[in-house]
Amino acid sequence: MHRHPVFAHPPAVLSRAIGFALIWLILVGPDSASWIVGGPFIIAATLASLTLSEPRDRSLSLSSLAGFVPYFLRESLRGGLDVAARVMLPRLRVRPGHQRYRVRLQSPQARLVFIDTISLLPGTLSADLRGDLATVHALDIETDVVEDLTALEQRVADLFGETLAPVSDRTTAQRSPADGAPTREPPGLPEDRP
Amino acid sequence: MDPVQLLSGAFLLVGAFFFIAGTVGLIRLPDRFSRLHALTKADNVGLGFIVLGLMPLTPDLFYGLKLVLVWLLVVIAGATGAHLIAKRALRGDGEDVL
């Protein structure tokens, strides 16, 4: 029998409602009258989130999160410094290109975190995800993105309590444009048109 | 001027530097994807330092938490937006995979 998610997953409902209540508290401050407006919206937000994102049995690993946050901040800073150094120097140090990476994470949430974090890592930007194959844009085509992405993927997997399938052909690192060749985009990667 | 204000001012200047770097990147970089690099990363770090610089000047805890929340939402929105723009630039068609 199909049950409404509110009754099927009480812990998820509770934790999400508490989360939305905390956000409301941060936004508005400790004003008891504000809950007249906030209360209904917290209920609405909880119901909407249950519909939009099915609750799962596994939950986030807090110990991994404690490790992930400093890693994320450090890599963000490195990424910012890297971009700043590339564009502020008189000679622009970029050789942009695309590379492919095979994603092994399973759940949509984990993939979302992975894809969003790629863009904040030094030198990489997640451009596309088709099936398991992510297209990553690199500011410098010489950088080997696979190693960084594998490390990041492992961290995200820990975060969501996933085990990554053994590596078979993760290095699908097609690089384009080819080194030294005149910059002609291969088919399927349209260059930006005016 | 007390040291807290000096530190806060230094953080604000560092944040401003990253925003300027992002803007310079937007102007100088050759293609759409590279410009997205500059915007997402510089905004993330720049706004982070601005929030860090404003933190000692906040009147109460809620104000500080609100600033962190703003940073978090901007980072998520920036990274997601960059991904969507890059995806559309790459494809020009199709449905969302995620």
- Model pLDDT, residue A186: 43
CA-closest candidate to residue A145, choices A159, A154, A135, A132: A135
User: What mean pLDDT is predicted for residues A37-61?
Assistant: 81
Instruction: Kindly report, residue by residue over A90-115, the tens digit of the pLDDT.
Output: 887 778 888 888 888 888 888 888 88
- Model pLDDT, residue B95: 52
Kindly tell me the burial class for residue B1, based on how many C-beta atoms sit within 10 Å of its own C-beta (0-12, 13-18, 19 or more): exposed
- Model pLDDT, residue A92: 79
Q: Which of A69, A81, A119 to mutate to test the interface with B (most CBs of B within 10 A)?
A: A119
User: What mean pLDDT is predicted for residues A73-86?
Assistant: 88
- Model pLDDT, residue A191: 44
Q: Does A2 have pLDDT greater than 60?
A: no
**DSSP summary character for residue A167:** P
Q: How confident is residue A145, by pLDDT bands cut at 50, 70 and 90?
A: confident
Q: Does B97 have pLDDT greater than 60?
A: no
Query: Which has the higher per-residue pLDDT, A161 or A181?
Result: A161
- Residue A26 main-chain phi, psi, to 5 deg: -65, -40
Task: Indicate the Cα dihedral angle B29, B34, B35, B36, nearest 10°.
Answer: -170
Is residue B22 within 8 angstroms of chain A, CB to CB? yes
Q: Give the span between the Cα atoms of B40 and B46, in whole angstroms.
A: 10
CB contact under 8 A, A77 and B65: no
CB contact under 8 A, B48 and A76: yes
- Model pLDDT, residue B45: 92
Is residue B87 within 8 angstroms of chain A, CB to CB? yes
- Model pLDDT, residue A193: 41
CB contact under 8 A, B83 and A116: yes
- Model pLDDT, residue A156: 86
Residue type, A172: T
Query: Which has the higher per-residue pLDDT, A179 or B61?
Result: B61
- Residue A193 main-chain phi, psi, to 5 deg: -100, 155
Q: Which residues of A170-186 are buried (b: 16+ CB within 10 A; e: fewer)?
A: beebeebbeeeeeeeee
- Model pLDDT, residue B93: 59
Q: Does B41 have pLDDT greater than 70?
A: yes
| Range in A175-179, B46-50, B67-71 the model is least confident about | A175-179
Max mean pLDDT among A50-64, A82-96, B64-78, B84-98 falls in B64-78
Is residue B40 within 8 angstroms of chain A, CB to CB? yes
Q: Give the span between the Cα atoms of A105 and A118, in whole angstroms.
A: 14
Measure CB to CB from residue B44 to each of A25, A76, A88 and give the nearest one: A76
CB contact under 8 A, B69 and A26: yes
Query: Which has the higher per-residue pLDDT, A108 or A176?
Result: A108
